Amino acid sequence: MGSSKVKGDVRTEKMVTMETDLFRDRLNRVYDRMRHGAQSRNLSQSEFFEYLWDLKETALVEGKPSLELPQTWLEKLEQEEATSPVRKS
């Protein structure tokens, strides 16, 4: 789990660096599962997924090789990957 520390009113979280291409692939897998699933779930119903998608798109447009994200965001994405319905081919 990511560690969070409080410094006065500022909350800092452990940051993780991830390659933009890897982040794109993970988001695409979650999106594909959400799109083909009967029910949208936690992440798909929130603005969080849209924010991650926009962050990924911005990084790709700007040509950034990697992104720095709070570890808790990646954990949330992993949870969605694990709980999303699997697409049947």
Residues 6+ apart with CB under 8 A from 36: 85, 87, 88
By the 8 A CB rule, do 15 and 62 touch?
A: no
By the 8 A CB rule, do 2 and 14 touch?
A: yes
pTM: 0.69
**Alpha helix (H) residue ranges in 1-89:** 20-36, 47-62, 71-83
Question: In the numeric block, which tokens belong to residue 26?
Answer: 């993970």
In tens, the pLDDT along 1-40 reads: 444 454 444 467 899 999 999 999 999 988 887 777 644 5
Q: What are residue 3's phi and psi, to 5 degrees?
A: -95, 140
Residue 72 CA, chain-centre distance (Å), reads 9
